[in-house]
Structure 1
Amino acid sequence: MQKYPSINGLRAISILLVLLGHLHVTSSIFQVWKEDNRLLNLVKYFLLNHHFGVNVFFVVSGFLITSLLLDEEQRTRTISFKKFYIRRTLRIFPAYYFVLLVYFLLQLGGYFHFNTLSWITSLTFTKQFYSHDWQTGHFWSLSVEEIFYLFWPLVFVAGDRFRKRTAILLIVLVPLMRIVFHFYPTEWRNDLTLFTRIDGIALGCLVALYKEEILAKLSAYWTAVFIFAAAALLVLPDVRFHLAKIGLEFILIPLGTTYGSIANVLIALILLYSVFGPQRLWFRMLNSRVMDYVGMLSYSIYLWQEFFIWGREGHKDWIHQFPQNIVFTFLAAMGSYYLIEKPFLRLKAKFSSDAAPTGKTVQVAEAP
């Protein structure tokens, strides 16, 4: 499997935006930022936008998983379901269920109390449908991703045309679902389910499927593409304000702003620039040791950050107060990575697409 540069740097940006956004929700440390300057407030909004950070992760994840499947298909003309699901299990389950084990022990000790439904949705990766408690609510995004990857390999083996059409269909369906939910709201519907967020992963998949064609068109305009995408992402929050002044805010119902369809396309452009574009300042920043290391820890940071950012039942003990809560988050993430993730990642490597075929493989259908 080809190793792409800048990916850990993008993961680092994603998790740092999530951290800052959650700190903004639970702490008053950003209230000192009361600039009246419109541009500075847009920068502030962007830096504290944890939903945008999640969508960066979604697009990157879809791109990487599909690239891995394409690599396996090109080398072997088959896809091993067994290896795929073993890799996903070894990557996600150990660190995740260790966090839940810690939560269970803390509940036995009276520190936490999660109800039965909270436990069921956490254990079954269905948290997107019940994200009402802070310490496990953030697992909604992992729930969306895992449900997608239950069926994506099955779509993939049906052939090139079918997989592309499926990704496009998902990207188109989400804006339609946003319109339906806007005019016909339901009790369970929110912006944390696959019905309104799966398009980010699907777009990452589609970019991987059309990678060569897209790169051929963009390679002569890299600087313009990056400047346009970065500037557009920064001003997107202001678009709603200006459209509302002329009565056209409804345009954004299907497309969203910083975590909708428009933002996903802009994230995809920045992803391509970051990985395949010129190796200038942005590239060097993403591939610096600090960004690479934070990106490497990003999954464990994601798992542990809500525990330290917010305490039990809203009571903020010393370890849950800023700035030590950030220190403890990173310490817990480092412990999780080196003691749990890394040993299982070594085991996962034995089931890589480069390894000798084992178990059931499926001949990939040829496009008609």
Structure 2
Amino acid sequence: MVYYAELNILGFFTCLIIQHKEAKDKQEIFSTRSFKNILLIIESIFLLDTASLLIQNDMMPHTHIVHLMIMNGYFFLQALFPLEILKYCMGVEKIRSRTIRILTYIPMIITFAVLVVNSVKPFAFQIGENDKYSRLSSTGFVYVVIWPIVYVLGGLFFLIAYYRKSTDIKRENYRHIIIFAMFGFMAGILSILFKGFLLWPFISLGLIYLYVNVLSKSNQKLDILAFKDSLTGVGNAALYESVSGHIKAQIDAGTAEFALVVMDANSLKKINDNFGHEAGNEYIRTSARFICRIFDHSPIFRIGGDEFVTILEHSDYENREELLRRFDTEILHEKAVSDGVEFPLSIARGMKVYEKGLSFSEVFYEADNLMYANKSEVKKKATAEFLTENVSG
């Protein structure tokens, strides 16, 4: 028991240290309210778990109802913890669907109902003689712990989905969070299978892993942020200038082989004027994600409010025509969503392959002209579709 309590206290102070460091260093991965809530919940669980141990060993004044409330609070927070993980994972991409937000609370409500029923008629756990905590049937106990596992699995689903479609800059963060979530999931499974397994000290190890990996790369992240577009996560104009400098050096050396794709998101001003700048921002973010998915082996840069550029080299250069066809086909099914309003993506694009004798600026100029020609075609097509749908014979 002393060993268990000492580990709880160690885990509690680990959370406090991380909390202090987060407030001091303002690391990007810890900046959301949900993650701050995760730390507070774990600290509270450590305190409740330790209080239960002290009660069971007659080291703390108590009554039967107090011990029961402590254990109910423990299991309630045990479900709230992965809920906050799920909210954090969803918040990474700022999901705003009201239906999804409501659905996330259903397991929490079920957990609360199970604890109320168990308090009146124990079937999962009980506070028995001498205020000793004990599990009852394994089946009954599963009703208490299965819903937190549902939350953790949901969080992992979101994280893995975002990881698969994210840029290299974001992938590192997602990978660390996935490993942290796996700590919670595996600890939950082990606590079900093995009575007395030290669940929360184990999870505190996950926190240590997460924070150490962030801190060890803090200087590198500062460098990345200097060349990262804050809205979309792709490269910014400064990085574009740096990379284009390397391409110009290849042109001078006679070794250049690349294509430029210049892209422009249509209708941004209309969306900003009619639905607000947050809707416009979401439209730009969705456009960036789509572009990254198509040209997933090439650097993407946002060089203006609605203008993007990618430099195709190596495999993307070899498959450039197929990628452009994919771009034109798949964008027809893409939509940005802001506050329940859907905005079909419309992105004009122009691609120019480098030819010997051209400068980098000339390649960009020709790609830009092709983009504007494509923009005119896209607008004509949109007008024709509108007339077809709205003007009767």
Q: Given the two structures, how large is their TM-score scaled by the length of structure 2?
A: 0.23
Higher strand share: 2
Q: Given the two structures, how large is their TM-score scaled by the length of structure 1?
A: 0.24
Please tell me whether Structure 1 or Structure 2 has the larger radius of gyration of its CA atoms.
2
Q: Which has the higher contact order (CA 8 A, sep 6+)?
A: 1
